[in-house]
């Protein structure tokens, strides 16, 4: 049994994590916190104030904190986890370079697993994109991501991960062009990146590889957010008890 604490409990993902945890017998929720007060329990769990986070960690000693919030708060939670030796699974996106560095610093004191996407389908998409990019070395590549209208960061963390994957294979592609307007001919060394925001879309990512007389399109669509919650809980169960360090969601999948 893995004991978790959930941050951002009243957010879209926090609610999904609590609902998924309630249905699993390998996960127990030690406590949950949210920035603003929550009167009613969520999936049977009382939600405390974020202000008490360090005290709650000390009192409950969970195995893992599962965090889907924002980059500033995630870093505060990471510091507290490092101080208390509690492992951290974070799906939060939108970290800048300093934020990523701070998260890595926390992993010197505790186990940290960060993933921009906890869907197994997206993990498969990443592998397929790397293969297709290698197989079509002259293709023009464009990436389009689509999310709900309340998403803050753009392009999505998953889009950035896919771009890193593509650039890891094609080192001639060294410019990310975010949308186009006016006189904007395409150059051979760019990847076009397009972010759409509409309605309540959980997340779509398409990588388009265009060559002469043929195109290949690789697309993932998240049906709902439960896939991210399940993946994060799988990661939490896997991470519990591990040594301090930086871990990857592919390691969780490979061990499944
Ligand atoms: P949301 O806005 O619905 O919820 C965010 C939660 O974090 C809220 O409870 C909010 O109160 C809390 N929060 C935000 N800033 C805070 C702060 N400064 N201090 C304390 N609490 C704070 O957002 P969401 O859709 O649940 O997404 C949360 C994060 O998870 C985003 O970064 C999103 O991109 C990411 N996400 C990742 C995955 C994945 O698989 N890795 C999937 C979906 C969303």
CATH of 120-222, one of 2.40.40.20, 3.40.50.2300, 3.50.50.60, 3.30.360.10: 3.30.360.10
Two tokens at 112? 């940290």
Give start-end residues of each CATH 3.40.50.720 domain in the chain: 2-114+225-255
Q: Annotate 138-165 with DSSP letters as a single string.
A: T-EEEEEEEE-TT--SSS-HHHHHHHHH
3-state DSSP percent of the chain in helix, strand and coil, to 5: 40, 25, 35
Is 158 close to ligand 1, i.e. is its CB under 6 Å away? Answer: no
Q: In ligand 1, which atom is closest to the CA atom of 8?
A: 9
Helix (H) or strand (E) holding 33: strand 27-34
Buried b (16+ CB within 10 A) or exposed e, 1-32: ebbbbbbbbbbbbbbbbbbbbeeeeebebbbb
Instruction: List the CATH code of the domain at 2-114+225-255.
Output: 3.40.50.720
pLDDT grade, residue 37 (50/70/90)? confident
pLDDT at residue 256 is higher than 90: no
Two tokens at 223? 């049906």
Is 8 close to ligand 1, i.e. is its CB under 6 Å away? Answer: yes
pLDDT digits (tens, 9 = 90+) for 144-188: 999 999 999 999 999 999 999 999 999 999 999 999 999 999 999
Tell me, what DSSP letter sits at residue 36?
S
Give start-end residues of each CATH 3.30.360.10 domain in the chain: 120-222
Q: In ligand 1, which atom is closest to the CA atom of 93?
A: 32
Note if 151 is an active site residue: yes
pLDDT digits (tens, 9 = 90+) for 84-134: 999 999 999 999 999 999 999 999 999 999 999 999 999 999 999 999 999
- Name the active-site residue from 60, 104, 114, 147: 147
Q: Annotate 195-244 with DSSP letters as a single string.
A: EEE-TT---EEEEEEEETTEEEEEEEE-SSTHHHHHHHHHHHHHHTTPPS
pLDDT digits (tens, 9 = 90+) for 189-214: 999 999 999 999 999 999 999 999 99
Is 121 close to ligand 1, i.e. is its CB under 6 Å away? Answer: no
Q: How far is CA 239 from the centre of its chain?
A: 16
CA distance 131 to 135: 6
Q: How far is the CA of 91 from the centre of ligand 1 (A)?
A: 8
pLDDT the model gives residue 21: 98
Q: What count of residues does the chain have?
A: 256
Q: In ligand 1, which atom is closest to the CA atom of 9?
A: 9
Is 195 close to ligand 1, i.e. is its CB under 6 Å away? Answer: no
Q: How far is the CA of 244 from the centre of ligand 1 (A)?
A: 24
- Name the active-site residue from 84, 104, 151, 205: 151
CA distance 223 to 229: 13
Note if 178 is an active site residue: no
Q: Annotate 71-89 with DSSP letters as a single string.
A: HHHHHHHHHHHHHHT-EEE
Is 116 close to ligand 1, i.e. is its CB under 6 Å away? Answer: yes
Q: In ligand 1, which atom is closest to the CA atom of 14?
A: 26
Residue closest via CA to ligand 1's atom 37 equals: 91
Is 93 exposed, middle or buried (CB count within 10 Å of its CB: 0-12, 13-18, 19+)?
buried
């Amino acid at each position: 049994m893995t004991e978790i604490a959930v941050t951002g409990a009243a957010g879209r993902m926090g609610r999904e994590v609590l609902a998924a945890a309630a249905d699993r017998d390998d996960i127990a929720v030690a406590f949950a916190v949210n920035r603003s007060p929550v009167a009613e329990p969520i999936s049977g769990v009382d939600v405390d104030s974020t202000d008490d986070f360090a005290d709650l960690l000390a009192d409950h000693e969970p195995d893992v904190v599962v965090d889907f919030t924002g980059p500033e708060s995630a870093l505060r939670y990471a510091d507290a986890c490092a101080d208390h030796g509690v492992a951290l699974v974070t799906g939060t996106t939108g970290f800048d370079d300093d934020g990523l560095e701070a998260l890595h610093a926390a992993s010197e004191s505790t186990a940290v697993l960060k993933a921009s996407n906890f869907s197994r389908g997206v993990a498969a998409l990443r592998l397929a994109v790397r293969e297709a990019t290698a197989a079509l070395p002259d293709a023009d590549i464009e990436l389009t991501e689509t999310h709900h209208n309340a998403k803050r960061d753009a392009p999505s963390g998953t889009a950035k991960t896919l771009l890193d994957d593509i650039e890891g294979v094609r080192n001639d592609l060294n410019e990310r062009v975010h949308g186009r307007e006016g006189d904007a001919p395409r150059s051979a060394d760019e990847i076009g990146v397009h972010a759409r925001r509409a309605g309540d879309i959980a997340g779509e990512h398409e990588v388009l590889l265009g060559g002469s007389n043929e195109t290949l399109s690789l697309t993932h669509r998240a049906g709902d957010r439960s896939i991210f919650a399940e993946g994060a809980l799988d990661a939490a169960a896997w991470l519990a008890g591990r040594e301090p360090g930086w871990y990857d969601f592919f390691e969780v999948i490979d061990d499944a």
